[in-house]
């Protein structure tokens, strides 16, 4: 099942609405007032289109999805008009259906793919049971339905028997997400609503899911509503894009028009704030300010407190829908001048920017000693066994296998790769939170585990623990929910700066809160974590780590949970704090755009990790514009880019799913997915080669060496089909 580029031409939506939304709102009664989380929305969803809906967290995206199925949870109330228009028959008022009518509408007519695939499945029931129960609940023939389910799973490049006979935890994140898509299609719906379906997936799986969405849309004659906070992701497949801000649409139009000539200031600023691989980093600026409180939405234009074009009219008069072009309304009084006032491009020489930020780390290594040095590090885990497996050998996961890397003063190393490739384990090992099963980790020349056991007495263990810190991916769970911000931030000062009295500690905390933009600091210092936004929680977590005055911070996906509009702002803050505290970062990310931004802006390096091995490392310029390892090339291909045409002929990777880490492939671990694999790759594991004519650029691939036996070895891929095309 393939879809050619000609099957997906960008076009204005034809006027054949399958769903019409008129004056639709969703409200919640709260102690402090009415919370309006969807505000008088009007929208036509055209038959057989892919409509992308984007916006920041809390903008009302998920509420719109729930309203389309009249599934807003109590005590929320949806009101207005949502009309389903079948091809044959009378229109149906969705919000006026009885219980039986809703049962028939949900899944059979409008189906939903929820954000968390794991939480959508019962963990103690096999995938097959979920399909059977869904078919039975809607009075479908079980045998016919399961035959259809198997066909859908095959269309999604899954093995039906294996998936259906597995429990959810036995499937990878990408496999669970595809199984959930199959479950949503088993009752043959007309409309598929997808709420952040790729949010928890890494780049390659995101790209493959996007490719599959195009295919299932054509195969099953679907209308798709794709909801996301990631504009580059949806821009690759959507016919139209709607931009939600403060619980209402501020702009809606054909994808090409939105990307090339957006008319609303928020849309233009959102586009500029998105990290990408090609644009100069100087052009990437965060959207200043924060989204409004649903209980206290500003009068007039809701965006006016953050808008650089706001005037008295914006502050007092709610903008109507102005027509930019046919099928392109925008809610902005100044839409005609926004395009001139908020430029989308700046005159930067990309090559000169890259050259000025590149750092010769190899020359640096000859002049100074590293802060942390990893030498041939291995971390292997034995998998847990059930009672029935107690007499058999445990499976061993080689989470990290033979990695060597040095981190210097004020250095930044960004580890990128798919989920489960060993990035986080490697990072935790570097900061002494995970003991290696082989190799060594040294802090300023001292093996940290020799220090911990007392074999090396040249430095105290407490000094190492203070010097090596971590910022977790989810700051909400990393902060004690029962402690105020003040208590959490004063704790490291009490332990490591005992000469400070209570007033000095408080003043230092207040100063840092103001330094990171949390003003007035006296307000924030008394709050609990749940009273902070995600970005504010991450700021507090960063401050807490910095108060240790560490030499190295391992930042584990520190911006992945944030809106795209906040990621640049958070990375800029991390760079600012690095300059203030003279610390180094080991930054873990699955997003190559984020990796490029922070590494290029700090003169750092990007390390590419695959199945526990460091397969390539170099400057951002080298990794992005001259990748040597086929896996690095696949990551670059998978990274969504606004306004950049991707090579659509064939995906540079042979299979979607990563191999089982308990049974990694022999030889080069990437050879089972590599489009350039040869016989020698099956049996020999490549060493790390210096890339010719490039400093500080190494790649573990035979192709780097022009004289290697690889070039005379027989190809193993020419007779094999590529698993998915784009």
Per-residue pLDDT at 161: 94
Q: What pLDDT is attached to residue 349?
A: 44
Predicted confidence (pLDDT) per residue in 404-449, tens digit: 999 999 999 999 999 888 999 999 999 999 999 999 999 999 999 9
Of the chain, the end-to-end C-alpha distance in Å amounts to: 11
Provide, rounded to the nearest whole percent, the portion of the chain with pLDDT above 70.
90
- Confidence class of residue 392 from pLDDT cuts 50, 70 and 90? low
pLDDT value at 389 more than 60: no
SS (H, E, C) 662-723: CCCCCCCCCCCCCCCCEHHHHHCCCCCEECCCCCCCEECCHHHCCCCHHHHCCECCCCCCCC
- The arithmetic mean of pLDDT across residues 327-346, rounded, is 89
Least confident of 153-162, 384-393, 606-615, 642-651: 384-393
Q: What number is the average pLDDT over the span 308-335?
A: 94
Task: Quote the tokens at residue 707.
Answer: 């004289």
Q: Confidence band (pLDDT; 50, 70, 90) for 350? A: very low
Write the pLDDT tens digit of every residue in 449-464.
999 999 999 999 999 9
Pairing label, strands 77-84, 17-30: antiparallel
Task: Give the whole-angstrom CA distance, residue 114 versus residue 271.
Answer: 26
Residue 372 is given by DSSP the state: E
Per DSSP, 27 falls in state E
pLDDT bucket at 367, cuts 50 / 70 / 90: low
- The pLDDT-based confidence of 363 (bands split at 50, 70, 90) is very low
Q: List, for residues 352-362, the tens digit of each pLDDT value.
A: 434 334 444 43
The predicted model scores a pTM of 0.86
With beta carbons less than 8 A apart as the criterion, state whether 705 and 689 touch: yes
pLDDT of residue 347: 46
CATH label, 356-382+395-482+528-712, candidates 3.40.1190.20, 3.40.50.300, 3.40.309.10, 3.90.1150.10: 3.40.50.300
pLDDT in tens, 147-180: 999 999 998 888 999 999 999 988 887 888 889 9
pLDDT digits (tens, 9 = 90+) for 654-712: 887 888 888 899 999 999 999 999 999 999 999 999 999 998 999 999 999 999 999 99
| Adjacency order of strands within the sheet including 322-325 | 110-113, 191-195, 223-228, 50-54, 240-245, 248-254, 328-330, 322-325
Higher pLDDT, 301 or 278: 301
Domain ranges of the chain: 265-347, 356-382+395-482+528-712
For the CA atoms of the chain, what is the radius of gyration? 27
The mean of the pLDDT values for the chain is: 87
Please report the pLDDT score of residue 523 as a whole number: 87
pLDDT surpassing 60 at residue 7: no
- Of 288-292, 301-305, 398-402, 674-678, the one with minimum mean pLDDT is 288-292
DSSP 571-638: HHHHHHHHHHHT-EEEEEES-HHHHHHHHHHHT-EEEEEETTEEEEEE-HHHHHHS--SHHHHHHHHH
The pLDDT of residue 8 is above 50: no
Query: Cis (ω within 30 of 0) for the bond into 520?
Result: yes
């Amino acid at each position: 099942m393939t879809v050619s580029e000609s099957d997906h031409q960008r076009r204005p939506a034809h006027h054949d609405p399958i769903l019409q939304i008129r004056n639709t709102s969703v409200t919640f009664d709260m102690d402090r007032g009415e919370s309006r989380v969807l505000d008088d929305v009007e929208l036509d969803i055209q038959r057989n289109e892919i409509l992308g809906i984007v916006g920041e967290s809390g903008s009302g995206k998920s509420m719109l999805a729930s309203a389309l199925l009249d599934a807003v949870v109590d005590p929320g109330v949806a009101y207005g008009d949502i009309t389903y228009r079948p091809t044959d028959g009378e229109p149906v008022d969705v919000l006026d259906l009885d219980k039986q009518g809703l049962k028939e509408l949900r899944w059979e007519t409008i189906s939903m793919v929820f954000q968390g695939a794991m939480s959508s499945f019962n963990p103690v029931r096999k995938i097959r049971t979920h399909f059977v129960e869904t078919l039975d609940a809607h009075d479908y023939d079980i045998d016919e339905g399961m035959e259809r389910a198997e066909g859908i799973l095959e269309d999604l490049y899954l093995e039906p028997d294996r998936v259906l006979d597995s429990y959810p935890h036995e499937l990878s994140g990408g496999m669970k997400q595809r199984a959930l898509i199959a479950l949503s299609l088993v009752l043959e719906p007309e409309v598929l609503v997808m709420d952040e379906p790729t949010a928890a997936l890494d780049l390659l799986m995101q790209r493959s899911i996007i490719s599959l969405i195009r295919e299932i849309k054509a195969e099953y004659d679907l209308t798709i509503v794709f909801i996301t906070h990631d504009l580059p992701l949806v821009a690759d497949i959507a016919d139209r894009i709607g931009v939600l801000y403060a619980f209402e649409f501020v702009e809606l139009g054909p994808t090409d028009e939105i990307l090339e000539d957006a008319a609303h200031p928020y849309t233009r600023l959102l586009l500029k704030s998105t990290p990408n691989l090609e644009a100069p980093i100087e052009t990437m600026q965060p959207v200043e300010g924060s989204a409004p409180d649903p209980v206290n939405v500003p009068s007039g234009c809701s965006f006016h407190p953050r808008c650089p074009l706001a005037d008295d009219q914006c502050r007092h008069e709610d903008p109507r829908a102005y027509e930019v072009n046919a099928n392109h309304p925008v809610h902005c009084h100044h839409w005609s001048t926004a395009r001139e006032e908020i430029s989308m491009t700046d005159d930067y020489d990309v090559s000169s920017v890259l050259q000025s930020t590149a750092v010769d780390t190899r020359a640096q290594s000859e002049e100074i000693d590293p802060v942390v040095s990893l030498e041939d590090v291995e971390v292997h885990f034995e998998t847990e066994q059930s009672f029935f497996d107690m007499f058999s050998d445990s499976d061993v996961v080689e989470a990290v296998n033979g990695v060597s890397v040095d981190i210097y003063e004020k250095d930044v190393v960004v580890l990128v790769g798919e989920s489960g490739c060993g990035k986080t384990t490697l990072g935790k090992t570097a900061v002494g939170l995970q003991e290696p099963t082989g190799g060594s980790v040294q802090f300023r020349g001292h093996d940290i585990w020799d220090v911990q056991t007392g074999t090396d007495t040249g430095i105290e263990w407490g000094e190492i623990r203070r010097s090596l810190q971590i910022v977790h991916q989810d700051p909400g769970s990393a902060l004690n929910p029962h402690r105020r911000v003040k208590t959490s931030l004063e704790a490291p000062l009490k332990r490591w700066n005992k000469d400070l009295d209570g007033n000095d500690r408080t003043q230092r905390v207040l100063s840092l809160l103001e330094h990171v933009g949390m003003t007035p600091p006296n307000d924030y210092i008394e709050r609990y974590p749940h009273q902070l936004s995600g970005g504010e929680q991450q700021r507090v977590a960063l401050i807490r780590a910095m108060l240790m005055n560490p030499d190295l911070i391992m930042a584990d996906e520190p911006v992945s949970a944030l809106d795209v509009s906040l990621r640049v702002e958070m990375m800029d803050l991390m760079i600012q704090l690095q300059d203030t505290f003279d610390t180094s970062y080991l930054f873990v990310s699955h997003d190559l755009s984020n990796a490029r931004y922070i590494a290029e802006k700090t003169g750092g390096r990007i390390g590419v990790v695959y199945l526990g091995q460091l397969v390539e490392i170099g400057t951002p310029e080298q990794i992005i514009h001259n990748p040597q390892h086929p896996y690095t090339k696949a990551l670059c291909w998978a990274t969504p880019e606004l306004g950049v045409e991707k090579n659509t002929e064939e995906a540079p990777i042979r299979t979607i799913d990563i191999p089982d880490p308990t049974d990694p492939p022999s030889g080069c671990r990437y050879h089972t997915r590599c489009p350039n694999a040869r016989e020698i790759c099956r049996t020999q594991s490549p060493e790390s080669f210096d890339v010719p004519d490039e400093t500080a650029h190494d790649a573990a691939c035979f192709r780097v060496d022009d004289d290697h036996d690889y070039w005379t070895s027989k190809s193993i891929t020419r007779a094999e089909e590529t698993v998915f095309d784009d």
